[in-house]
Copies of this chain bind each other. A is one copy, B any other.
Amino acid sequence: MVEALAKKAKEASVVLRSSGVNIRNAALVKIAQAIISSSNEIISANRSDLEAARQKGLKESFIERLTLNEDRVKAMADGVLAVANLDDPIGQVISMWTRPNGLRIGQKRVPIGVIGVIFESRPNVTADAAALCIKSGNTCVLRGGSDAINSNKAIVDVMRRAVEEAGLPKDCVCLVEDTSRETAAKMMRLNGLIDVLIPRGGAGLINAVVSQASVPVIQTGAGNCHVYVDGEADMDMAVKIAVSAKVSRPSVCNSAETLLVDSAIADKFLPVCAKELICKGVELRGCERARKIVPEMKVADDEDFYTEYNALIYSVKVVDGIDEAMAHIEKYSTHHSEAIITESYFKAERFLNEVDSAAVYVNASTRFTDGGEFGFGAEIGISNQKLHVRGPIGLKELTTVKYVIYGAGQIR
C-alpha cells in the first residue's frame, strides 16, 4: 500500500522535476486559495479529530497543537503563499569549469525527487511541508500522526485538487492514510522510491526514524544549547542574552539549556542574572560553585547538563575560562547552537573556530538559529547532522545537484 503510494509519488516526480517555476508557484497559489475556500471542510474534519482526542483523554497541550480554527487555517494558507514568493532554488549552475581535454563540467541544482516527511499530530505541518516540497520541485509522501488523520486527509485532499487544477499530477502530494507503526516502518525502507526522509517532531520520533530507516534521513531535532559568559563580557549584554536565550521561547530547540559562567566574572554576574531569571519564573540548577554564589539554585547533577529541558529550567555551571567552557560543550552539547559573550577578540575567534556546532555565536542569542532569522524565508526544521545540511533546512537544502557535461567526442 505505502509502496504503491510512493511509486505514484515517484512517477509524479518525473513530471514535477522538469516543470518551470511558474507552474510550481501557480500550484502553490491555487493551494492557498483552496485552503481558504475549503476552510469549513478542513475545520469540520479537524473537529472529529479533536473529539476523538478528547475521548482518548489526551493532554490539553496536545489538543491545543491539534486544533485548527479559522485563524489557523488562514495562517496555513498564508504560509503556502509565502513559500510561493520565495526565490526558486532549482536550475542554478553552481559552478562550471573546463578540463584540459575540453570537457565542460557544470554542477547544477536539481530537485531531490521524492521526500518522505514523518511528523506528529500537528496539521499545520501538512500544508507547510507539502508547499516547501512543491516549490523545490519535489513530490512528497506525508505520514502525519494518527490523531490528526481526518484533518490531514481533508488538507491533502484540498491540496491535491489544487495541484491538479494547476496542471501538475495530483500525486505530487501523497498522504499515508494508514497511520500504523508497521506502515511507517515500511515507508522508512522504500529505497529507490523515497529519496530522503525527514522526521519532524520529538526525540522519540526522530530516534525511531534514525534507527529504523534505510532511506537516507535528514535528522532534525535535539538542541542542548549553551551560553558561555566569558570573564571579559559586557555585563549588561551578557545578562540580556543569557536571559533572553532561555525565556523568549523555552520550548524550542534553539533556546539555551545551560549557562556557563567564567569564574572570573561569576561573583558579579551570577547574582544579577539569577535574580532576573528567577523573577521570570526560571528554575535554576547549579553546580557547587554556582550555588555558593546563588544559594537559591537547586543542585544540578551530571544528567542535568545532558538535558534539553524545553522548559523554564536552566542549568548553571561556573568554569575556569574558555577552555573548560569549550570542553564542557564538547562533552554535553548536541552541537546545535552555542554562544560566547565576550569583548575579547582572541577568545571570540577561538570559540568560533574550535566549537563544533551547527551555529556558533559571538555576542548574540542562540535563538537566531532559524530559517527565517537566517534569511532563508522558510524552513522544514533544523538539521543536527553533518551530512548534506547542518542548521536550518531551507529550500536550497531540499535540492541535490547533478553534473552536466558538454563534450565534443571525448573518450578515455
Closest B residue, CB atoms, query A195: B386
A211 with B214, Cβ < 8 A, contacts A248-B411, A358-B402, A412-B368 known: yes
Residues of A contacting B: mostly: mixed
Q: Residue A103 contacts which of B17, B99, B245, B368 (CB distance < 8 angstroms)?
A: B368
| Interface presence of A121 (CB below 8 A) | no
Using Cβ atoms and an 8 Å threshold, which residues of chain B touch A367?
A: 411-412
Q: Residue A405 contacts which of B214, B361, B402, B410 (CB distance < 8 angstroms)?
A: B361
How many angstroms between the C-alpha atoms of A18 and B327 in the bound complex? 14
Pair A386/B112 contact, Cβ less than 8 Å = yes
Using Cβ atoms and an 8 Å threshold, which residues of chain B touch A410?
A: 363-365, 368
Closest B residue, CB atoms, query A217: B216
Interface string of A340-358 (1 = CB under 8 A from B): 0000000000001110111
Using Cβ atoms and an 8 Å threshold, which residues of chain B touch A361?
A: 405, 407
Q: Residue A240 contacts which of B18, B218, B363, B411 (CB distance < 8 angstroms)?
A: B411
**Which interface residue of A110, A365, A367, A386 has the most chain B CB atoms within 10 A?**
A386
Within 8 A of B (CB), among A85-137: 97, 99, 103, 105, 110, 112-113
Interface string of A360-372 (1 = CB under 8 A from B): 1111110111000
Closest B residue, CB atoms, query A370: B412
Q: Residue A373 contacts which of B113, B240, B412 (CB distance < 8 angstroms)?
A: B412
Within 8 A of B (CB), among A227-251: 234, 237, 240-241, 244-245, 248-249
A375 with B97, Cβ < 8 A, contacts A244-B411, A364-B103, A400-B390 known: yes
A405 with B105, Cβ < 8 A, contacts A248-B412, A385-B216 known: no
Closest B residue, CB atoms, query A349: B404
* Number of A residues, CB within 8 Å of B: 68
Closest B residue, CB atoms, query A113: B386
How many angstroms between the C-alpha atoms of A406 and B356 in the bound complex? 16
Pair A363/B403 contact, Cβ less than 8 Å = no
Pair A407/B364 contact, Cβ less than 8 Å = yes
| Interface presence of A191 (CB below 8 A) | yes
| Interface presence of A395 (CB below 8 A) | no
| Interface presence of A175 (CB below 8 A) | no
Other contacts beyond A237-B409, A363-B409, A388-B388: 12, CB < 8 A = A14-B330, A195-B387, A234-B409, A240-B409, A240-B411, A248-B411, A249-B412, A363-B406, A364-B410, A367-B412, A368-B410, A390-B400
Chain A residues with a Cβ under 8 A of chain B: 14, 17-18, 97, 99, 103, 105, 110, 112-113, 189, 191, 195-196, 210-211, 214, 216-219, 234, 237, 240-241, 244-245, 248-249, 330, 352-354, 356-365, 367-369, 373-375, 385-388, 390-391, 400-412
- Complex A-B: 25 CB contacts under 8 Å: A18-B354, A99-B374, A103-B368, A105-B375, A113-B386, A189-B211, A196-B386, A216-B216, A216-B386, A244-B411, A249-B412, A359-B402, A360-B403, A360-B405, A364-B405, A364-B406, A364-B407, A365-B411, A368-B405, A368-B412, A387-B388, A387-B400, A390-B402, A390-B403, A391-B402
